[in-house]
Amino acid sequence: MEEPLHSVLLSQYQERCPGVCRFMVCIMSGARTTPAVFLLGCCALALGLGSGSLEHREAKHYIAAVYEHRSVLSPNPLELTSRQQALELMKQNLDIYEQQVMAAAQKGVQIIVFPEDGIHGFNFTRTSIYPFLDFMPSPRLVRWNPCLEPFRFNDTEVLQRLSCMAIKGQMFLVANLGTKQPCLRSDPRCPDDGRYQFNTDVVFSHNGTLVARYRKHNLYFEAAFDTPAHVDLVTFDTPFAGQFGMFTCFDILFFEPAIQLLRDSKVKHIVYPTAWMNQLPLLAAIEIQKAFATAFGVSVLAANIHHPTLGMTGSGIHTPLKSFWYHDMDNPEGHLIIAQVATNPLGLVGIENVTSETDPSHSKFLKILAGDLSCEKDAQEVHCEEAAKWNMNAPPTFHSEMMYDNFTLVPVWGKEGYVQACSNGLCCHLLYERPTLSEELYALGVFDGLHTVHGTYYIQVCALVKCGGLGFDTCGQEISEAQGLFDFHLWGNFSTSYIFPLFLTSGMTLDTPDQLGWENDHYYLRKSGLSSGLVTAALYGRLYERD
């Protein structure tokens, strides 16, 4: 790997710094580097980049970037290579990273996020990944600028390169790499080879200092890596948007660290490196990213890997109310997303109910919740006149597999109606009107149980989905195109407050609910005026305590 080009950095700083800055001199005891690099660090401090100016702190927006990267992969990840060979492969990916940093810098980007596995790739064994690992000191224990102090620790070439990129781009930089940490034989958790290996996210400030490290807790079939003994709850402060939190890929579905991080801190923004394989209809990458932002009222800067042949694409900058995303199964190239993000994102959840009860659709929803439209089995003749309109031809109940779970479903027929489906303790309800009918089968599905394929976790799901064909057995299949338009209320009697609103429309596009919230012990999602066909509208509840 090349040594950092300090002369290039100096010239870039000279272009950006006023004349007085170029002649500043700093004395840093114990640092092993050149005078040119001392000058760079001082220039950053003189401009207020190290701590942030008052102007930045009072800004209402910041500019963020995420890069969906098509990584250069090892031709045989199971084969043992030398450190030098590993560095040569990683250099190809880091060269692309640097190009994107400089492109982002031209747009005034203040923070950029790169994906999980983007530098070293994947499908390694514990042994074969070893040459790709950097040594990783804890930023909590050691203050270190790898670009300015490149000889302080051995095997840190990747960290050095990332640090220098942050300086060149004058932005916060978030990246994922493999790291190693020696352990003592006296440690009962120490692996037989005497080291821990972690899937690690790192954050560098715009002056190249390593400010945060997160080690992935919820590994997804990653035999090359260890789970840290304790969950990292990692936040870092920025001068432009306050506090950020971070976690990686599969972590998004679990209480630790994702939910606990938001409960225990003032985090308004999440950086999220991921290597996510899309799984429709409920867990496409952009779908879950947007749902997390909406559910918790935060911004999510999500960078995914780009390998469409493996079903891996889908990145975005998501706020609760708006998203800028990328999903492309055809283009082989990576993609840079840049967007302006509110420093204090506004959310759907937690705001007052703004829907008038005189709204006909919402009025019917409230009546159904109150029991005014339902007919009890032991009193069919009571309160049934209006309910008969909605249940004249009660649709049949059937079962179909959706994402490896046995869902209970009912078809959604006709231009308007009310249907419900129940499983275990969860009952899901749908009140709908359709401006126009399409020749497609839709169904309302419910699942309340332990998901056990590709991970074990307890879910409660109410889902309105487009089926793959006209047969009941096609409901739950992976489809991405649809024509059906709906105005609807979807709700259920969930046993958890952790509910992700999934909303996907035709062509892998995202939409935002008109309303979310609790009403009479039921959680509901409301939407009208879809601009494209509905693929999935779902309430995806997580019962973490039952995992």
Told to judge if 527 belongs to the known catalytic residues of this protein, a careful annotator would answer: no
Catalytic residue among 17, 43, 116, 467: 116
Contact 222, 248 (CB under 8 A): no
Angle between helices 35-46 and 6-16 (to 10 degrees): 30
Up-side HSE of residue 66: CA atoms within 13 Å toward CB?
32
Tabulate helix, strand, coil % of the chain (nearest 5).
20, 30, 45
Contact 171, 110 (CB under 8 A): yes
Q: Is 18 exposed, middle or buried (0-12, 13-18, 19+ CB in 10 A)?
A: exposed
Cα angle for residues 275, 315, 269 (degrees, 5° grid): 100
* Bridge partners for 442 per DSSP: 412, 466
Take residue 9 and report the two structure tokens written for it.
């950095």
Cα angle for residues 432, 434, 438 (degrees, 5° grid): 130
Distance of alpha carbon 317 from alpha carbon 303, whole angstroms: 9
Q: Is 171 exposed, middle or buried (0-12, 13-18, 19+ CB in 10 A)?
A: buried
Up-side HSE of residue 244: CA atoms within 13 Å toward CB?
33
Distance of alpha carbon 513 from alpha carbon 524, whole angstroms: 10
Told to judge if 116 belongs to the known catalytic residues of this protein, a careful annotator would answer: yes
Up-side HSE of residue 141: CA atoms within 13 Å toward CB?
3
Q: DSSP for 371-397, please give it.
A: TTT---TT-TTTT-HHHHHHHTTPPPP
Which strand (E) or helix (H) includes residue 103? Answer: helix 83-105
**φ, ψ for residue 20 (rounded to 5)?**
-65, -30
Q: In Å, how far are 240, 244, 246 from 52, measured between CA atoms? A: 7, 15, 21
Catalytic residue among 249, 428, 462, 475: 249
Sheet strands (E) in 84-183: 111-113, 134-135, 172-182
- Tell me, rounded to whole angstroms, the distance of Cα 80 from its chain centroid: 32
Told to judge if 249 belongs to the known catalytic residues of this protein, a careful annotator would answer: yes
Longest dimension (CA), the chain: 90
Query: How does DSSP classify residue 346?
Result: -
| Interacting residues of 91 by C-beta distance below 8 A, sequence separation 6+ | 1, 2, 161
Catalytic residue among 168, 180, 216, 290: 216
Take residue 496 and report the two structure tokens written for it.
């958890």
Annotated catalytic residues are 116, 216, 249
